[in-house]
């Protein structure tokens, strides 16, 4: 059975479903974006070499939520 899963597209389908329903589900993705934003916001705000303003950063991060 393991050989069949490893050699066939069924394994790919199962993996795709697990990824979409797990790590990339809307709730999980939003939570991760929020977590990363919480971790990085203070650094982005204080970065004197930033490519974007802090307000632009916040606006783009909000689009991901």
How far is the C-alpha of 15 from the C-alpha of 20, rounded, in Å?
9
Instruction: Give residue 53's pLDDT.
Output: 94
DSSP state of 35: H
Please state the pTM of the whole predicted model: 0.60
- The whole-number average pLDDT for the span 44-58 is 94
Asked if residue 44 lies in contact with residue 54, where contact means CB atoms within 8 angstroms, the answer is: yes
Q: Domain residues of the chain, as ranges?
A: 2-64
| Max mean pLDDT range (3-12, 24-33, 53-62) | 53-62
């Amino acid at each position: 059975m393991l050989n069949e899963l490893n050699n066939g597209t069924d394994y790919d389908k199962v993996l795709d479903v697990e990824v979409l329903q797990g790590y990339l589900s809307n709730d999980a993705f939003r939570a991760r974006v929020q977590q990363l934003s919480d971790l990085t916001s203070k650094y982005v705000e204080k970065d004197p070499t930033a490519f974007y303003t802090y307000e632009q950063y916040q606006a783009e991060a909000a689009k991901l939520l």
